[in-house]
Structure 1
Amino acid sequence: MQESRLFKIVYYLLEHEKSTASELAEKFEVSVRTIYRDIDALSSAGIPIYATQGKGGGIYLLDNFVLDRSVFSDNEKEQILTALKGISAADGNNLDELLTKLRALFEIKESSWIEVDFTSWYKKKPKQDIFRLLKDAIFSKNVVKFKYFNRNREMSERKVQPIQLVFKDKYWYLYGFCLLKNDYRFFKLTRMTELQVLTESFCRDFSELEIGKTIKYSENISVKLKFNKSIAFQVYDEFYDEVKECDDGSLYVEAELPNNDILYTKLLSFGDDVEVLEPESVREKIREKLENMFKKYL
């Protein structure tokens, strides 16, 4: 426990430059006396940490101090490099120089066990400029404005206080506080156009926000599906271990899926190789869509 707290004290001072014993005691929920013992322990371990008394004094680290590479385990070093490769692929920025420096610092040879690439097999991903603009707006806390097409095919102009970029189920989303709806919302990047980062800033505190619990992107519906075995590769791609093989060779899936247009787009992508067994409401909606499609080809 003490070892963990010692590292946390060092990280805190690296981030805040200076603190007081009482502030650290409150932060880590220990006594001031314990904090001073921790400082002695860090100093004995060779960490250049100092405490000065009087006005303007406090606890601080020597200027230009950096953590030794031995602080990170081999697994943590690999995780850092992998995360940076993912950021580079998503953001479109070339981080090769940074990755090379970190590999040298960590004494890790070029690793090729994983490659992160968010581009499509069919065309280049077109939203890297939007991604970079949104990332900058999140860090600078600037409001963004854009036109957005929602799942009901309606276009509206939105002003949003951006919080986080989220990658989920093959797509990027912006999560933020929508000033039009006065609520938290997800926005799919591929549906955004004419994005602008405004000079208008905001100071809303998101530090305590639990994004996963604050808003549900969609209500789900339980569906039972039967697939032709000829598209087994596609079924396993979509549903993983939810797939069960029937005696006749067909594939059976029972899953929770979004109860909106995403559901029908997904089901229709399987063509006539899928049958919706339940619920009847989904079967009826599929019939309506197929009838409308049929009329267009009369």
Structure 2
Amino acid sequence: MATNKHAQIRFTILDRCFSNFNRLYTYDNLLDEVNNYLYELGTEGIRLRQLQYDIEHMKSDAGWAIELDDSLRKGKKKAFRYQDKNFSIADHPLNVDDLEQLETTITILSRYKHRAEFSWLEELIPRMKQAFNLVADGDNGLIGYEENIDLKGREHLGTLFNLIVKRKQIKLTYEPYGKPPFEEVVHPYYVKQSNNRWFLFCFNPRYQTISNYALDRMVSIEELAEKFEPSTINWLDYFYDIIGVTKPEDAQIEKIHLKFSEQRLHYVLTKPLHGSQKLDRTDPDGRTVTIEVFPNKELYQLLLSYGPDVEVLAPDVVREEIALRIKNTNTIY
């Protein structure tokens, strides 16, 4: 049984090769694919005997009981490919070894979920337990998450994550709504989810600035060999003063005063609009809160979603923009 270091990484690479029906892989090709990835991780590669052990483990009941097409040849050499074009170990139930490793990993992660910088684990851990059926029989479906599983661009997440980790410059083919696709060379730094959409933040050499691109508008991603420009940005700080993902250029942070109806106030107090939200003690009615952010389109969309339950008291620039948008909306009806 292949339980040594980096085994799961090797299985994932082999699964990808066996699933590729546009190419035939021999033992030599498979070794190259696996070892090139391991070398990039800064570790040593494997030899043919270990590769053969890995394949046998994947074929066994202790692995994933994969079925390979034994009739394939590349020249005089044996070639490897799944019999079923739609098969992947990613779609296969976890085996005993996987379940034990996953439960151990979740136990270790759980130690850190109470630290502020790992607060996201509070959501991730129950999501993983539910997704991999690590709950008691009959308890599946204890938590529902708001997400669109059909959203385009999700398939780019893993690719972008690896390219960011490897510090690789990339060429995007990008197709905005209602416009023809274009190519852009960028240095990828950070991926962020907002309003159930994913966005890539990167340095754009053409504009000499930070740009963001929605993953659902990406047509293709190509890795480049050119020199990578490292990021000096603290991304947690970068997003602190904005709602959403848009950081306007030549804008300044505004202290925005918002007065809510009594019916909506308690909702806003228990689910703050932003991390800077505070109750305005100068309001005798106790219904005004303040936030300090850059005014952007996501802010205006959020405020308009409250309808008549909120009034923007200050500053004038935000109040006037909301009034203009309401006026434009009224012309439709």
Shorter-chain TM-score: what band? 0.5 to 0.7
Q: Does 1:145 align with 2:172?
A: yes
Q: Secondary structure at the match of 2:182?
A: strand
Q: Secondary structure at the match of 1:181?
A: coil
Q: Indicate the residue corresponding to 2:222 in structure 1.
A: 198
- The match for 1:287 among 300, 316, 323 is 323
Counterparts of residues 172-211 of structure 1 (less than 5 Å): 172-189=198-215, 192-206=216-230, 209-211=232-234
CA deviation vs aligned residue, 1:202-247 (integer Å, no higher than 9, x gap) = 32141x6234499783443221110012113541313365235754
Q: Distance in 1 between matches of 2:105 and 2:319?
A: 59
Cα gap change, 1:187 to 1:194, in 2 (>3 Å): closer
TM-score normalized by structure 1?
0.53
Q: Does 1:254 align with 2:290?
A: yes
Q: Does 1:265 align with 2:278?
A: no
Q: Distance in 1 between matches of 2:331 and 2:323?
A: 12
- Does the Cα contact within 8 Å between 2:172 and 2:221 map onto a contact in 1? yes
Q: Which runs of 5+ in 1 are unaligned?
A: 1-14, 19-92
Amino acid at match of 1:146: T
Q: Distance in 2 between matches of 1:106 and 1:288?
A: 50
Q: Indicate the residue corresponding to 2:187 in structure 1.
A: 161
Cα gap change, 1:124 to 1:105, in 2 (>3 Å): closer
More helix by share: 1
Q: Indicate the residue corresponding to 2:100 in structure 1.
A: 100
Q: Which runs of 5+ in 2 are unaligned?
A: 1-40, 45-89, 114-120, 129-143, 240-246
CA deviation vs aligned residue, 1:95-120 (integer Å, no higher than 9, x gap) = 96657316458987999994425985
- Does the Cα contact within 8 Å between 2:187 and 2:229 map onto a contact in 1? no
Q: Indicate the residue corresponding to 2:155 in structure 1.
A: 129
Q: Distance in 1 between matches of 2:180 and 2:264?
A: 36
- Does the Cα contact within 8 Å between 2:148 and 2:196 map onto a contact in 1? no
Q: Indicate the residue corresponding to 1:224 in structure 2.
A: 257
- Does the Cα contact within 8 Å between 1:103 and 1:110 map onto a contact in 2? no
- Does the Cα contact within 8 Å between 1:224 and 1:277 map onto a contact in 2? yes
- Does the Cα contact within 8 Å between 1:146 and 1:195 map onto a contact in 2? yes
Q: Indicate the residue corresponding to 1:238 in structure 2.
A: 272
Cα gap change, 1:200 to 1:108, in 2 (>3 Å): closer
Amino acid at match of 1:178: N
Q: Does 1:296 align with 2:332?
A: yes
Q: Secondary structure at the match of 1:202?
A: coil
Cα gap change, 1:169 to 1:202, in 2 (>3 Å): farther
Q: Distance in 1 between matches of 2:232 and 2:212?
A: 14
- Does the Cα contact within 8 Å between 2:265 and 2:287 map onto a contact in 1? yes
CA deviation vs aligned residue, 1:78-135 (integer Å, no higher than 9, x gap) = xxxxxxxxxxxxxxx7896657316458987999994425985364362421212322
- Does the Cα contact within 8 Å between 1:223 and 1:278 map onto a contact in 2? yes
Amino acid at match of 1:201: A
Q: Percent identity among equivalent residues?
A: 19
- Does the Cα contact within 8 Å between 1:221 and 1:258 map onto a contact in 2? yes
- Does the Cα contact within 8 Å between 2:164 and 2:189 map onto a contact in 1? yes
Amino acid at match of 1:196: S
Deviation at 1:178, TM superposition (A): 1.6
More strand by share: 1
Q: Distance in 2 between matches of 1:121 and 1:188?
A: 19
The two structures, once aligned, show a CA RMSD in angstroms of 4.4
Cα gap change, 1:205 to 1:294, in 2 (>3 Å): closer
TM-score normalized by structure 2?
0.48
Cα gap change, 1:105 to 1:136, in 2 (>3 Å): closer
Deviation at 1:201, TM superposition (A): 2.9
Deviation at 1:170, TM superposition (A): 7.0
- Does the Cα contact within 8 Å between 1:158 and 1:179 map onto a contact in 2? no
